[in-house]
Every structure is written in structure tokens, then in C-alpha cells.
């Protein structure tokens, strides 16, 4: 995820050779997780389960990769318990996404920035 400073620099770099314009205005808006407020574990579980369904992974395959039983996988997928956080790294590899893409934050920070370049 790109932080705000990098996003601003990227946009300015793309337009720095536009000398024909006296002023350029940019309005940037983006959202990023508010890491201080923590994770929404139920939404994270739903996201993981959706990705498993989309990828067509079976409980047995997941269990083999995580070193647990298929019953344990079934339990956290269907009965309200949640998997051990240590397994997120392996799951992210199985699902071909980053660990950050698996996690759902409780809150999101919204950024709006107006930039004027002369």
C-alpha cells in the first residue's frame, strides 16, 4: 500500500516537465487502514473464506499446508472459531495475496489532499 507522501511525489513527478502550465491543482483522495484501531476478525475470516471459495481450495489441501486436520479447517471456516494468526502467512501464499490483503481493519483513514504547483 502506498503511503500519502509517496502518492503525492508520484503525481508531481509525472507532471514536473509541464512548463506550459502556470499552476497545476491536484486533489488526491485515498483510504488506508487505521492500524491503531485493530482488526475486524469476523470480516477478516469472511474475506479469507471468500478467497478460499474463489480459488476452489478444499479443506484437505489447506489442512496439509497448515499442518492441521481438515476438521480444524472446517471448524474455523463454518463454526465461528478462527485460525491461528501464525497461519496467515501460509494462507496468503495459498491464496496468492499479501497478508495485508487478508486482513480487514476495524477503521479506515480517509485522506484528501489539495496540492497547488506553480
Where in the chain do CATH 1.10.260.40 domains reside? 40-102
Element (H, E) at 21: none
- Could you tell me which residues are beta bridge partners of residue 32? 109
Return the exposure string of 52-61: e unless at least 16 CB atoms fall within 10 Å of the residue's CB, then b.
beeeebebee
Predicted confidence at residue 32, as pLDDT, reads 75
The tens-digit pLDDT sequence of the chain (118 residues) is 456 667 777 766 666 555 445 666 667 777 777 777 787 888 888 888 899 999 999 989 999 998 888 988 888 887 766 667 778 888 899 999 998 888 888 887 777 777 666 6
- The pLDDT score that the predictor gives to residue 64 is 93
- Residue whose C-alpha cell reads 501460509 in the numeric block: 90
User: Which pTM does this prediction carry?
Assistant: 0.60
Task: Looking at the chain, list the stretches that DSSP marks H as alpha helix, in order from N- to C-terminal side.
Answer: 4-14, 41-55, 59-66, 70-78, 88-95, 99-102
Predicted local distance difference test score (pLDDT) of residue 19: 47
User: Which pLDDT score, from 0 to 100, does residue 15 have?
Assistant: 62
- 40-102, which class in CATH? mainly alpha
Neighbours of 43 (CB within 10 A): 13
Amino acid at each position: 500500500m502506498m503511503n500519502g507522501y509517496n502518492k503525492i511525489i508520484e503525481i508531481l513527478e509525472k507532471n514536473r516537465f509541464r512548463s506550459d502550465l502556470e499552476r497545476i491543482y491536484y486533489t488526491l483522495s485515498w483510504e488506508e487502514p487505521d492500524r491503531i484501531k485493530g482488526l475486524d476478525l469476523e470480516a477478516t475470516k469472511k474475506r479469507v473464506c471468500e478467497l478460499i471459495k474463489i480459488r476452489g481450495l478444499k479443506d484437505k489441501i489447506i489442512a496439509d499446508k497448515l499442518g492441521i486436520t481438515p476438521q480444524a479447517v472446517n471448524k474455523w471456516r463454518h463454526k465461528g472459531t478462527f485460525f491461528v494468526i501464525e497461519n496467515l502467512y501460509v494462507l496468503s501464499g495459498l491464496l496468492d495475496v499479501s497478508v495485508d490483503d487478508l486482513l480487514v481493519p476495524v477503521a479506515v483513514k480517509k485522506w484528501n489532499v489539495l496540492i497547488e504547483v506553480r
